[in-house]
């Protein structure tokens, strides 16, 4: 198994895509009874999110054009998995989301990444089901991602072990977990999250430190290692998840940046969903 990736969390670019007008009424959601999405507020929150990546963290933003015919297209993470110089263009599990990959593929090609396309029609993979720890991949087997998708990912990233994790009560693996630093896993407290954690621990040769938080949704964070800033963690706000925010405050070595995503959460969106992070420093 490969050792910890040098430069884990280091990124130079973020691919993002604006909020389509169709999102409030047409975006997919697990719970149809969810509150109505306030489109103007969703767009303000997304602008703030992009602003943090660009102005606070210094990333170069690749801003893809909004497409109202693709109501879920703000969630660019599902369209590709990027590790090192390779980008795997996924085959999203929801049929209506397959076209989202076209413009994402072009953007990643323009960044001169090695493009691998998932063309096997029996495979499905959403990027939200893919957790890269810096040492290995875990792939959630969910309603959106199947075993064949995980196998193709393993072929694309041969340097790393790939293990699968059954997902039962959530949309994606990263709906209840993410990385908060090298070797540090953030995990929610629900039964489903804790069962997944046990699988991760059983499948891995590496022992991860873990930060358990009360709210599954708040366990989706974005970790970055930024020059002159060090460990940075974008996480949900105290207004959304006050108890989970108190747990994040224990991370004394991190720059903690709360970022609201109240409206996207109503259609199962989370922080990592809204960007694809790329490190192109080696060419600069």
Beta bridge partners of 116: 88
Q: Which residues are bridge partners to 187 per DSSP?
A: 177, 212
As given in the structure block, the two tokens for residue 88 are: 């795997």
Q: Exactly one of 172, 231, 235, 254 is catalytic; name it.
A: 172
State the greatest distance between any 2 C-alpha atoms of the chain, in Å, as a whole number: 48
**Secondary element (H or E) of residue 80:** strand 80-83
Q: CB-based contacts of 260: which residues, under 8 Å, 6+ apart? A: 45, 48, 236, 237, 239, 240
The reply to whether 46 belongs to the active site is no
- Identify the three-state secondary structure at position 266: helix
Residue 23 parent element (H or E): helix 23-26
Half-sphere exposure of 67 (CA within 13 A, CB side): 19
Q: How far is CA 282 from the centre of its chain?
A: 23
Nearest to 225 by CA among 160, 172, 174, 281: 281
Catalytic site includes residue 274: no
Inter-residue contact 62 to 16 (CB < 8 Å) = yes
Dist CA 84 CA 80 (whole Å): 13
CB 145 within 8 A of CB 129: yes
**Residues assigned a catalytic role:** 172, 273
């Amino acid at each position: 198994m490969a050792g910890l990736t040098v430069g884990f969390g280091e990124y130079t670019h973020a691919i993002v895509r604006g909020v389509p007008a169709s999102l409030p009424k047409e975006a997919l959601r697990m719970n149809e009874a969810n509150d109505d999405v306030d489109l103007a507020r969703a767009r303000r929150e997304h602008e703030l999110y992009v602003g943090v990546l660009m102005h606070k963290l210094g990333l170069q933003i690749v801003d893809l054009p909004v497409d109202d015919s693709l109501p879920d297209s703000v969630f660019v993470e599902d369209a590709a998995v990027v590790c090192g110089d390779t980008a795997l263009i996924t085959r999203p599990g929801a049929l209506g989301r397959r076209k989202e990959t076209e413009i994402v593929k072009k953007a990643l090609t323009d960044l001169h990444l090695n493009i691998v396309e998932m063309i096997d029609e029996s495979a499905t993979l959403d990027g939200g089901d893919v957790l890269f720890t810096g040492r290995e991949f875990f792939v959630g087997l969910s309603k959106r991602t199947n075993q064949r998708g995980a196998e193709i990912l393993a072929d694309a990233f041969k340097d790393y072990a790939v293990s699968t994790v059954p997902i039962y009560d959530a949309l994606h693996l990263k709906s209840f977990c993410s990385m908060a630093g090298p070797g540090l896993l953030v995990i929610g407290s629900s039964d489903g999250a804790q069962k997944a954690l046990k699988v991760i621990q059983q499948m891995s040769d590496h022992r991860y430190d873990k930060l358990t938080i009360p709210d599954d949704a708040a366990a989706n964070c974005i970790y970055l290692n930024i020059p002159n800033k060090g460990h940075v963690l974008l996480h949900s706000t105290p207004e959304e998840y006050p108890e989970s925010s108190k747990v994040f405050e224990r991370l004394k070595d991190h720059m903690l940046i709360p970022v609201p995503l109240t409206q996207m959460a109503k259609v199962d969106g989370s922080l990592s969903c809204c960007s694809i992070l790329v490190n192109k420093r080696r060419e600069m």
